[in-house]
Amino acid sequence: MNRRVIIQFGGTGNLAKQKLLPAYKKLHKVYSFCLLCLGKENISNKDYLKNMVDNPKDYHFLNYKKCDLKDLKDKNVINDYIGTKNPKEVIFYIALDPSLHELALNKISEALFIFKNIKKKIVIEKPFGSNIKSSEKYNKIISRIFSEKEIYRVDHYLGKSFVQNLSTMRFENNMLQKIWNKDYIEHVQIVIDEDKDISQRIDSYKKIGVIRDMLQNHILQIITHLTMNKPLRYTQKHISREKMKILKSIKSIKDYRLGKYKSLLVKNNFNTSTFVVLKLFIENFSFSGIPFYVRTGKKMKKSALSICVKFKKFSKKSEKQKLLTLKRIISKVLNNKKSNFYLRFSDKFQKIGSAHLVFNYKKSKNIPRAYEEIIGKIIEGNKSIFPKFKEIKKAWKIVSPLLDKKEIKIYQDGKLPEFAEKFIQRDKKIWHI
């Protein structure tokens, strides 16, 4: 008898090919499980592996089955597989277009009606709905089938060591704890540039756009990790409590610009944003008045995930200046391959100028990639990096005004939009990233 079965909806998609299947291969060396990948294509297991992975022999634990969610002929695929394996636990992983989520949940519900006593978990990729109303409807459907402790809502940025290290950097460093507030921080910059275009998913992206794709989830979650108080314990309950305090303190976002890259002009009826730049404020005791400049876009010159915390300047005699020799912190991940963490110090009183302290590491085999971290925690039942629904709902409320149609400017492929440069320059600042 197999202890655990993972059923992967969206088994022929780009996410499965690029991220999930490589993660499953590595995790199978640590955890015992069988994997069933589902897709619409009527192909053999051999052809599936040939199309999806480099070395099929590494995936002896995987089976592929055709399962068209709209085809009644495929209604017993999941039931038959579970019945054959007779596992103790089943993990259902939904990585589909949101329009297919309800159909997938119906399939799952049918299977669980037969296998009532089996241990179960549900994993859902973002976006969780397309607005507040749809996310609430979706959550109600899931909650009829699964309890809250069985639901894992995935934001894969929270599996990145880069994001997890933000909290470690802040909470375990006495110097940073003292200066991580409005008395010392001048402003913050958060940048997620992506060099890839959306040509492979243009039809689905039309329904999503950059606000739903990046701001509602990844960026707001990064902001919470950058600004939340240290949780009492590192559990989902306590972490979510601190993140919610930040989300509730974010003022209504009114200052923003949208764009789409020029080569999309040749695509008919494409009027969806691929770039956003904005300024937001967190109105709480620690960060009131600090501007957070955010930008993210597709078809940039190169991919980079970067955060810059710029500190204030004080007079030589100021007590704050005696404490603050740090000018700025910049943390970067370039092309998902190399991470840099910069500390720039200034010691003008000793007349030795400024200095940089740089920590640099390339992705090593010992550092788990985001989806290895995520799936590993799901298997272990560790929910600490998974957002609760109340976070998702609040994030939708924050971004809802930005979903209304607004002028979308054109920018050149591979270049930072001119309007993004002007956006920060008007405040007499520059992008440090």
pLDDT confidence of residue 201: 81
Yes or no: say if 231 and 241 are a contact pair by the CB < 8 Å rule.
Answer: yes
Amino acid at 268: N
Q: What is the pLDDT of residue 264?
A: 86
**What is the strand order of the sheet 255-261 is part of?**
354-362, 338-346, 326-334, 304-311, 185-193, 292-297, 275-280, 255-261, 408-411
Q: Are 150 and 257 in contact (CB under 8 A)?
A: no
Of 282, 278, 319, 221, the closest CA to residue 401 belongs to 278
Nearest-Å Rg of the Cα atoms of the chain is 23
Nearest Cα neighbor of 248 from 287, 283, 212, 211 is 283
For the chain, domain boundaries:
4-125, 158-425
pTM: 0.90
Residues 196 and 298 sit within 8 Å (Cβ to Cβ): yes
Q: How many angstroms separate the CA atoms of 341 and 180, rounded?
A: 17
Name residues whose C-beta falls within 8 Å of residue 25's C-beta, 6 or more positions apart in sequence: 53, 58, 59
Indicate the burial class of 335 (C-beta count within 10 angstroms; 0-12, 13-18, 19 or more): exposed
22-47 average pLDDT score: 96
Distance CA 35, CA 59 (A): 9
Give the pLDDT confidence of 85-108 residue by residue, as tens digits: 999 999 999 999 888 899 999 999
Query: Are the beta carbons of 278 and 256 closer than 8 angstroms?
Result: yes
Q: Which long-range contacts (CB under 8 A, 24 or more apart) does 211-215 make?
A: 211/273, 211/276, 211/399, 211/402, 211/403, 212/127, 212/130, 212/399, 212/403, 213/127, 214/276, 214/296, 215/276, 215/278, 215/294, 215/296, 215/399, 215/402
Instruction: Give per-residue pLDDT as tens, 283-297.
Output: 999 999 999 999 999
- Bridge partners (DSSP) listed for residue 334: 304, 338
pLDDT at position 109? 94
The sign of the torsion formed by the CA atoms of 49, 51, 53, 56 equals positive
Chain centre to alpha carbon of residue 89: 26
Looking at residue 298, its pLDDT comes to 96
The CATH number given to 4-125 is 3.40.50.720
Phi, psi torsion values for 8, nearest 5 degrees: -100, 105
Highest mean pLDDT among 202-216, 240-254, 268-282, 365-379: 240-254
The residue ranges of DSSP E strands in 128-243, in sequence order, are 151-154, 185-193
DSSP 199: G
The pLDDT value given to residue 354: 45
Tell me which architecture the domain covering 158-425 has in CATH.
2-Layer Sandwich (3.30)
What's the CA angle centered on 113, arms 108 and 115, to 5 degrees?
A: 90
- Taking the C-alpha atoms of residue 39 and residue 255, their distance in angstroms, rounded to an integer, is 42
Q: Are 325 and 346 in contact (CB under 8 A)?
A: yes
Whole-Å CA distances, 373 to 98, 387, 395:
24, 15, 24
304: how many CB neighbours lie within 10 A of its CB? 17
pLDDT tens-digit readout, 320-355: 554 555 667 766 665 555 555 566 655 443 333 444
Query: What number is the average pLDDT over the span 161-171?
Result: 82
**294: Cβ contacts below 8 Å, ≥ 6 apart:** 189, 190, 191, 215, 219, 276, 277, 278, 279, 280
What gap in Å lies between CA 226 and CA 307, rounded to an integer? 9
* pLDDT higher than threshold 50 for residue 358: no
Contact 87, 112 (CB under 8 A): no
Side chain identity, residue 80: D
